[in-house]
A and B are shown apart, each in its own frame.
Chain A
Amino acid sequence: MQTKIKTILAIFVLFVSASSCDDYLDLRPQDGIVRDEFWKTKEDIQAAVIGIYSSLLNSPPGVDDFSMTQYLFMHGELRGGMVVEGVFATEDERDILETNVLPSNALTDWSIFYRTINYCNTVIDLAPAVKNEDPTLTQDQLNHFVSEALAIRAYMYFTLARTFKDVPLKLTATLSDKDNFQIPVSKQADVFAQVIKDLKLAEEYAVEDYGNNASNKGRITKYTINTMQADVYLWTESYQEALDATKKVINSGKYKLVESNNSATWFNTIYSNGNSSEGIFEFQYTSANTGPFYSIFFQRPQFKAYSLMMDEVYGYDVNDPIGRRDVRGNYASLFGATGEIIKFTRFDGGELKQLQDSNTHWFVYRYSDVLLMQAEALARLGQGKDAITIITDLRLKRWALDETDMSPGEGDTNGIIDFILAERAREFAFEGKRWYDVLRIARANNYERKQLLIDLAIATAPVDKQQSIIAKLKDPNSHYLPINTNELFTNKALVQNPFYK
């Protein structure tokens, strides 16, 4: 009897210990997919790529931060002199408006850019292996996906280098905690070089047409890449390359300026509806996934237009302010009367989009940008006449007032560049471009036009800080934001921009 019990007991113990490796002890997340289950089919890659775009629209759940759009707006406009603080501007926003930035300023947080960069890196690193798993994935399809990721990563680094100057280059996916996070900064020029390299490869792999309009405007195409190239080349002062890139877009024949005799139609086509014939790359906000604009421009306005926008940027006709006006100005970019920025919140004539319908896109590149970049490249290459032809044509189609025609001579390169800068202010008001435009032109040719930035400060700085701001702006390092204090704590390899001592 004793032996029998012992035997049974032994068998039982054996049974339990042998069966314990079963997978009821294997924990897997119930609300997500782990990596070794993903990256099996081309649909997985597609989902990951769409995820990249999605990260541009709004932050993922659980991340309590501004959206990418809001950062692009603030980095591009706050220091550009066309935006002033609204009633609900935060302290941090106000400090940047007044060129009074400390590394502790929350707006210098760049994590949102690196988050998207990591999504791109993940696709670039892991997508090629899917070919072994999914025989239906063609090399072409794979290339297309990689092209999209490369281009967006390039745009992220381009924006970072224009905003922070020297930034860390992370070109591989961060897949585990064992990765090295202590990466030093790369020089701005090296970042630009990497962007150019990525865009070149992306162009090789690129899609020309997705077969539907929304994808052609909302995803990266060959022409988006060419447009980005033109932009980067203007920054690196490679004007011939910039010109060539713009020609590729223009010669494709896929884009044309929206023209209309009716200002409301014009506005609705380009802005309220979006994806117009002049859209090149737009963040595709929808009613289901709305942008930040309703809140920051209307409901609790953090930003308003500079009070002299109408006077100094668009001009106005005293005798016929409604009938004879620049179509881009009053009732399009802003309400001249109140300074409310309406480009992203309203239909023309001022009818407000409701909160739940606030689906106006964010316009990264429009065709007019390509045209004006071409004009800039031409002017720099000494072909002033062609540059002026482009500007004149654009002005005609935008009902620009004669009062704002600076009519520079064909040989007057700086005059033409000034004209382009002024035209860009009118064309891209509040589209996150102003500061970068002024900075690009000021820094060209070894900061030949530094005075542009100082004039900007004289016109817009608070009077009791004006002199300090001018002195600060004379230091080129001050044109870039500092690395956020938190980043310096966590990444000891980083070195702060010397201006922020």
Chain B
Amino acid sequence: MKKLLRLPSLLKLALVFLTALVFQNCTQVEIKQTTDETLNITEYLRANQDYSMFLEILDITNYASFMNTYGTYTMFLPTNEAVKQYLKDVGANSLKDVPLADLQNIAKLHILDARINTTLFTDGKIATPTMYGQYLITGAANINGVSSITINKTANIVASNLELGNGVVHVIDKVLRVADKTLAQTIEADVNLSLFTEVLKATGWYDKLNQPLTYDASKIGSHLTVLAQTNDVFTKAGFNSLADLKARYSKSTDPMNPADSLNLFVQYHVVPQLNYLADLATTPVFVTKAPLEVISSKLIKDVIYLNRDVFNGILEEGVPILRAPSDVTTSNGVLHYVDGHFTIKKRLPSPVYFDVCDQPEFAANVANYRKSTGASFGIPPGGFADITWTGSKTYTLDWNNYGGAVNGDLIRATRFRTGSGGLNDIEYKTPVIIKGRYKIWVSYRAHASGSSNTKVFFNGEQTSRILNMKEFPNDPSVVATGIVDRVYESQGYKRHIFPFVKGDAMVSRLVGIVEVTTTGRHLIKFNTDAGTSSGSADADRIDLIEFRPVDIDQIWPKFKKGIKTGIKDPNGDANGDGLIQREEATKGDNSNSGY
């Protein structure tokens, strides 16, 4: 010790200093190990007392830890008041009294495995199903002047889009309930649907609508959509009882038989898959359970009409859907109410003259469309609701002013070719065609640089003949080579414009006979093999596609060329409808007396 004291003062100082240093060094430096302090969903719930009861549900069901893992979830989070109300509704004192399975289902119904902000909400279902499997539907409602976004029509959103570490949370004021009734049970529970229920039972459909949901190999559910008619609707249509309906429809007296008309009536009110109103508003045609029968749907202003179609120029009013009670989710589908009696219509095949320029997107161009002075103009890919094609991302499909064609216009592809330097596989959605057997005639303006090998596909199946748009019409006025209409037809051609003008080069080609299996809109596609060399396929212009039932005249009526004026013309179009019947054609082509 003495030795230590005898050390020089400098060394003593150093010793004291080092000793102090040893003690100082023991504090640990805090190193921040996270880059983000946003809470995950469960942590967020633990930090907020307002949601303690839903957290309890998650704890009881053991989903709490799961909701704290990384991922992209959406949670609809009921407030404590909402959960208390739920307990009251199910008659339980505390969450512990509720069966575990129920709580599990409830929890799963509130969680989606995708991040869905309110901006993605529509009037229908959220595209991602809940963990439970059922879809949630979104909407908005105005109560006493205050609007809120609603979930499943019952719960209002009180706080939305809370962004958390592993997803987004929307707070709701009611617990969402699992739809546990089937379609059949839901229909039966509504006294206004008692007659509809009777019909379902009489035709055996009650049991079919009572089946639990199943999924096929490709995970597509067996959901159904039912369009129900209330007793009032039946009464208005003159049906007061099941007997009335049987008397009217059940010709075979065995309504259980699927071929019986009453059974078909029910089949026609059932649509496969889950179709909420937003789906009905956006999809034009639905296949029904009745074989090959379809229902069309159309949104006009804010009303959805079923089967509101124009047939042969006559508007059929159709039946509107009752919005307020519709969109009822059930365990195996969705239920809607219609405000009118509707049935399968027996229709005979009738001709459809499809002017391919009848496109609303063209018509919006009012300055040019079907104006004699209108300039041709094009619309790029994605611009049409009813026409699609492959190939170039920028080339357009054009409205082409041409006085020689029906309605004074042709549709023209900017380079009808293969590859990205052209348009190919141009597919049109046709107007409604009634089911039956039809001949398809494609009318075009012939040109030396048209494509010579255009294949035509109807609903994806190739027709029997190939179009050669280099082929010019036969001129009947030349005595040596002229071919009369009937002979020309037998060869698969016709001159569809009357009177025929050689210089206009308009000709129609039979591309095949097709069986149209469902009444509705169909697809017709044009495909070419023409390559990229210039000049080979730059002038393909289609005027008209005719669907004529096989058993009617394929030549008459013909068409008047040019924009439809409605003016009566005693020398051809006597009634001004743009169509020229055989008897209206008082003179032959080229003003000769050829007929």
Contacts and interface: CB of A to CB of B under 8 A. Distances in A.
11 contacts: A307-B361, A310-B366, A311-B366, A316-B367, A337-B367, A466-B299, A467-B123, A467-B278, A471-B141, A478-B147, A499-B146
Interface in B335-388: 361, 364-368, 371, 373-375, 377
B140 A467 contact: yes
Contacts of A463: 278, 281-282, 299
A322 B372 CA distance: 12
B142 A471 contact: yes
Contact of B122 (A104, A330, A335, A464): A464
A458 B302 CA distance: 6
Nearest to A478: B147
A321 interface: yes
A463 B300 CA distance: 10
A464 B280 CA distance: 9
B373 to A, nearest CB: 7
Given A467-B140, A467-B302, A468-B123, A501 B365 contact: no
Contacts of A476: 145
Given A464-B122, A468-B122, A472-B147, A501 B158 contact: yes
Closest 8 CB pairs of A and B: A475-B147, A471-B140, A474-B142, A468-B140, A336-B367, A307-B364, A464-B278, A467-B123
Contacts of A470: 302
Contacts of B299: 463, 466
Contact of A501 (B122, B145, B159): B159
Given A322-B373, A501-B157, A475 B366 contact: no
Q: How large is the interface on B (under 10, 10 to 19, 20 to 34, 35 or more residues)?
A: 35 or more
A321 B371 contact: yes
Interface string B264-284: 000000000000011001100
A498 B119 contact: no
Interface in B120-163: 121-124, 138-142, 145-149, 157-161
Contact of A321 (B142, B147, B277, B367): B367
A465 B123 contact: yes
A102 to B, nearest CB: 6
Given A476-B145, A498-B146, A467 B323 contact: yes
B301 interface: yes
Contacts of A477: 146-147
A474 B118 contact: no
Contacts of B368: 321, 337
Contacts of B117: 102
Contacts of B118: 100, 102
Contacts of B365: 336-338
Contact of A458 (B147, B301, B367, B373): B301
A386 interface: no
Given A102-B118, A310-B367, A466 B138 contact: no
Given A467-B123, A501-B148, 5 more contacts: A464-B282, A467-B302, A471-B141, A474-B142, A475-B147
Interface of B: 117-119, 121-124, 138-142, 145-149, 157-161, 277-278, 281-282, 299, 301-302, 323, 361, 364-368, 371, 373-375, 377
Contacts of B141: 471
Nearest to B160: A501
Contacts of B364: 307-308, 311, 339
Contacts of B161: 102, 104
Contacts of B119: 95, 100, 102
Nearest to B382: A87
Contacts of A466: 123, 281, 299, 302
Contact of A464 (B124, B147, B361): B124
Interface in A285-325: 307-308, 310-311, 316, 318, 321-322
Contacts of A336: 365-367
Contacts of B146: 475, 477, 498-499
A132 B118 CA distance: 58
Nearest to B304: A463
A98 to B, nearest CB: 8
A467 B139 contact: yes
Query: Max chain A CB contacts within 10 Å: which of B278, B361, B375?
Result: B278
A473 to B, nearest CB: 8
A371 to B, nearest CB: 28
Contacts of B278: 463-465, 467
Nearest to A447: B145
Contact of B145 (A467, A468, A474): A474
B136 to A, nearest CB: 14
A470 B145 CA distance: 12
A470 to B, nearest CB: 7
A37 to B, nearest CB: 44
Contacts of B157: 501
A477 B142 CA distance: 12
Given A102-B118, A307-B364, A464-B124, A472 B140 contact: yes
Interface in A451-486: 458, 463-478
B147 A499 contact: yes
B371 A468 contact: no
Nearest to B148: A501
A318 B371 contact: yes
Nearest to B149: A468
Nearest to A465: B122
A421 B348 CA distance: 49
Nearest to B367: A336
A471 B157 CA distance: 14
A463 B298 CA distance: 10
Contacts of B301: 458
A337 B158 CA distance: 45
Nearest to A323: B373
Nearest to B563: A318
Query: Max chain B CB contacts within 10 Å: which of A335, A473, A474, A498?
Result: A474
Contacts of A335: 367
Contacts of A475: 142, 145-147
A98 B291 CA distance: 39
A293 to B, nearest CB: 22
A330 B123 CA distance: 36
Interface in A484-501: 498-499, 501
A474 B146 CA distance: 8
A182 to B, nearest CB: 23
A74 to B, nearest CB: 17
B170 to A, nearest CB: 10
A302 B147 CA distance: 30
Nearest to A105: B119
